Amino acid sequence: MNLKSLVTGGAGFIGSHVVDQLIANGHEVIILDDLSGGVIDNINPAAIFCKGSITDVTLVNELFKEYNFDYVYHLAAYAAEGLSHFIRKFNYENNLIGSINLINVAVNFNVKCFVFTSSIAVYGQNELPYHEGQFPNPEDPYGIAKFAVEMDLKNAKSMFGLNSIIFRPHNVFGARQNIGDKYRNVVGIFMNQLLKNQPLSVFGDGNQSRAFTAIDDVAPFIANAVNIDAAYNKVFNIGSDNPITIIELIAALNKITGINAQPNFLEAREEVEHAYANHNQFNDQFEPGSVTPFSKALSEMWEWVQKNGAKESREFDNIEILKELPSAWRK
Ligand SMILES: NC(=O)c1ccc[n+]([C@@H]2O[C@H](COP(=O)([O-])OP(=O)(O)OC[C@H]3O[C@@H](n4cnc5c(N)ncnc54)[C@H](O)[C@@H]3O)[C@@H](O)[C@H]2O)c1
């Protein structure tokens, strides 16, 4: 009998690539996604799709009753870290309470392993490079919600024996990423602006650095993790070792696209200036081998973006706090 996996957020960017790998591995995959950020086109036709929210306790219970999942891959979230200061209630309801709903049912239905995509946002102001031995110090509601879920999983293990594997990815990019969300995914935002011949919006001076990571160096490892016993009940940073600044990202994009786009400097926003992580623990356990070259991954995404066309950036409808909201995010 096939192993059954629930993938929340499976219509989204990372989730849809995790689904592809699980299907290639022979799992029966059920996707739960409310399509708030993902799209139908991302969904692997071999998966069963249920449109709905992780915040809907009745629906989540019904799904577990119907399918009796072996594994849960929980990727559904609204991952707009910078915006999370201004949508605190939504952030905690969606990203924290939604996650707890799933953990409750995973305990009740004896799931074998709960795989969770946390984020390096949990580290906040901490010594660089971030490593798993550090005590997290999240600086925004998004990171706080992720860390709270991590702690709840730890508690669910000691109290109820629920196994989990926690990944802390960072700055993942590639095909199927939502390029129409102006609050997140800087590579996608820039590519959307390149398609529209617009200057590239940079908060502050562009000297912030991030280690941008190709999707192929992330999704298959998340999918395959449940087969690695030694990974159970551990936390892994996952992603590139090479931070670059936003200005360097613009230069790389100009090079691969042949466009000479200029930065449009906006007022700085509240964010960690440099964020990159050590991946020794991941490398030891997962033996990833070769890493996708940055320019190759960028070119592949640009090819996909050109085929799919520019997207209209949507406004987040229900901003809860307007104080300190960056002017670029005001209507
Ligand atoms: N992309 C990154 O660089 C990155 C970095 C660190 C962590 N993560 C985490 O990885 C996961 C996937 O991120 P992504 O970049 O693929 O984002 P994404 O927006 O493409 O995917 C998230 C999916 O979750 C769905 N979703 C959101 N709220 C939901 C809800 N209440 N119920 C059901 N579905 C819901 C969205 O429709 C979307 O399809 C998230 O948990 C995110 O926090 C991403």
Are 61 and 198 in a shared domain?
A: no
The total number of structural domains in the chain stands at 2
Report whether residue 11 contacts ligand 1, using a CB cutoff of 6 Å.
yes
Give residue-wise pLDDT tens across range 229-282: 999 999 999 999 999 999 999 999 999 999 999 999 999 988 889 999 999 999
Closest protein CA for atom 42 of ligand 1? 79
Among the listed residues 71, 78, 142, 183, the single catalytic one is 142
Distance from the Cα of residue 214 to its chain's centroid: 12
Are 61 and 40 in a shared domain?
A: yes
Are 92 and 186 in a shared domain?
A: no
**What is the phi-psi region of residue 290: left when phi exceeds 0, alpha when psi lies from -120 to 50, beta otherwise?**
beta
Are 54 and 91 in a shared domain?
A: yes
Any domain includes 135: yes
Any domain includes 42: yes
Are 119 and 262 in a shared domain?
A: no
Q: Hey, what are 57's tokens?
A: 């306790």
Known catalytic residue: 142? yes
Are 115 and 189 in a shared domain?
A: no
Give residue-wise pLDDT tens across range 90-147: 999 999 999 999 999 999 999 999 999 999 999 999 999 999 999 999 999 999 999 9
Any domain includes 328: no
Q: Is 39 exposed, middle or buried (0-12, 13-18, 19+ CB in 10 A)?
A: middle
Percent of the chain with pLDDT over 90: 94
Could you tell me the CATH number of the domain that includes residue 56? 3.40.50.720
C-alpha triplet 26, 103, 94: angle, nearest 5°: 100
Give residue-wise pLDDT tens across range 164-190: 999 999 999 999 999 999 999 999 999
Are 164 and 182 in a shared domain?
A: no
Any domain includes 245: yes
The CB density around residue 228, as the number of other CB atoms within 10 Å, is 14
Are 258 and 165 in a shared domain?
A: no
| Residue 328 confidence class, pLDDT cut points 50, 70, 90 | confident
Give residue-wise pLDDT tens across range 74-88: 999 999 999 999 999
Distance from the Cα of residue 243 to its chain's centroid: 18
Distance CA 48, CA 66 (A): 12
Any domain includes 287: no
pLDDT number for residue 315:
86
Any domain includes 144: yes
Any domain includes 33: yes
Are 114 and 198 in a shared domain?
A: no
Report whether residue 79 contacts ligand 1, using a CB cutoff of 6 Å.
yes
Residue carrying the six token digits 């692997």: 44
- Mean model confidence pLDDT for the chain: 96
Report whether residue 80 contacts ligand 1, using a CB cutoff of 6 Å.
no
Query: Percent helix, strand and coil across the chain, each rounded to 5?
Result: 40, 15, 40
Containing structural domain, residue 189 = 175-211+241-278+292-316
Distance CA 206, CA 180 (A): 21
Nearest atom in ligand 1 to the alpha carbon of residue 74 is 41
**In the beta sheet, which residues pair with residue 277?**
130
Provide long-range contacts, Cβ within 8 A and 24+ apart, for 224-229.
224/21, 224/25, 225/113, 225/115, 225/165, 225/167, 225/286, 226/71, 226/112, 226/113, 226/115, 226/165, 228/285, 228/286
Distance from the Cα of residue 209 to its chain's centroid: 18
Distance CA 65, CA 75 (A): 21
CB 116 within 8 A of CB 122: no
pLDDT number for residue 241:
95
Measure 9 CA to ligand 1 centroid, in angstroms. 6
Question: What's the whole-model pTM score?
Answer: 0.98
